[in-house]
């Protein structure tokens, strides 16, 4: 029998929104998948031809790009940051709505004019998107790569500005920061390994099932 199709799903906040979509696409994982205490990483589903793996959001794109998983659910922020040519993103899943923005302390923003920037130092989890955004504006960006808690960087002198995801704006507000530029709007996408899409015909109805799960 052929190896099961592996779908990579991010743990964390997207998982809660993705679970109902999986159900609507007809994918019923074993009980341990929804159990946060489970230490398992790979889960069977009611379809012997489909397994799920639970990985970090940034790693979903890597697993699928390398063909270790054939399908995945990932934020368009992660997709754009890695820009893997091996990935095809056929369905906008309409979940995980947020935006990638530049933010700085409210006191700095009071007198700052982004149009006057020629060089910026930025703390971010997204060095590629940050460089690209500023380069397009003719601004030289120096990035300090962090994996979380970017909001601490300005007050602790690591970098005066940050590039991070914003949704309600609560995290920025509670850390004395304000949004000064929006880089991109973000939603989660279904991603497919391009080579697998050609060689595994069973992926076609599966992608269609996700498409229907979103629209119907
Ligand atoms: N505030 C938010 N509102 C909506 N979607 C968000 C928000 N923050 C992040 N996302 C989406 O969820 C994905 C995962 O977010 P994030 O990287 O913050 O997760 P995490 O659980 O901290 O991951 P990890 O611990 O693996 O770094 C992001 O790539 C983005 O697409
Ligand atoms: O505008 P808000 O609604 O406050 O959302 C923004 C926050 O959400 C994300 O973090 P997340 O909650 O995923 O935490 P983590 O990155 O620290 O894991 C992001 O990195 C911001 O810190």
Decide: 172 in ligand 1 pocket, CB within 6 A: no
Q: Looking at this predicted complex, what is its ipTM?
A: 0.95
Decide: 98 in ligand 1 pocket, CB within 6 A: yes
Q: How far is the CA of 13 from the centre of ligand 1 (A)?
A: 6
Domain boundaries, the chain: 5-96+187-215, 98-185
Q: How far is the CA of 10 from the centre of ligand 1 (A)?
A: 9
What beta strand segments (E) does the chain contain?
5-10, 42-44, 50-55, 71-75, 87-92, 98-105, 119-124, 140-145, 161-166, 177-186, 188-193
Decide: 162 in ligand 1 pocket, CB within 6 A: no
Same fold, 5-96+187-215 and 98-185: yes
**Ligand closest to CA 56:** 1
- The CATH superfamily assigned to 98-185 is Periplasmic binding protein-like II (3.40.190.10)
Decide: 72 in ligand 1 pocket, CB within 6 A: no
The span from the CA of 14 to the CA of 96, in Å, is: 6
Looking at domain 5-96+187-215, its CATH class is alpha beta
pLDDT tens-digit profile, the chain (216 residues): 789 999 999 998 899 999 999 999 999 999 999 888 899 999 999 999 999 999 999 999 999 999 999 999 999 999 999 999 999 999 999 999 999 999 999 999 999 998 899 999 999 999 999 999 999 999 999 999 999 999 999 999 999 999 999 999 999 999 999 999 999 999 999 999 999 999 999 999 999 999 999 997
For residue range 145-165, what is the model confidence (pLDDT) as tens digits? Answer: 999 999 999 999 999 999 999
């Amino acid at each position: 029998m052929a190896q099961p199709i592996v779908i990579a799903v991010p743990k964390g906040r997207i998982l809660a929104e993705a679970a109902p979509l999986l159900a609507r696409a007809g994918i019923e994982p074993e009980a341990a998948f929804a159990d946060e205490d489970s230490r398992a990483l790979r889960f069977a589903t009611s379809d012997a031809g489909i397994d799920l793996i639970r990985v970090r959001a940034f790693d979903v794109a890597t697993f699928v790009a390398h063909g270790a998983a054939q399908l995945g659910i990932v934020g368009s922020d992660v997709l754009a940051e890695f820009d893997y040519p091996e990935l095809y993103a056929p369905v906008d899943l309409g979940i995980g709505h947020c935006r990638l923005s530049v933010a700085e302390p409210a006191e700095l923003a009071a007198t700052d004019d982004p149009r006057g920037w020629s060089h910026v130092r930025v703390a971010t989890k997204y060095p590629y998107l940050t460089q690209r955004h500023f380069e397009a504006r003719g601004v030289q960006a120096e990035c300090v790569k962090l994996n979380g808690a970017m909001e601490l960087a300005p007050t602790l002198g690591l970098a005066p500005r940050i590039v991070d995801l914003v949704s309600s704006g609560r995290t920025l507000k509670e850390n004395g920061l304000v949004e000064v530029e929006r880089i991109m709007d973000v939603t989660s996408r279904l991603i497919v390994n391009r080579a697998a899409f050609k060689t595994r015909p069973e992926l076609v109805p599966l992608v269609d099932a996700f498409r229907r799960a979103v629209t119907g």
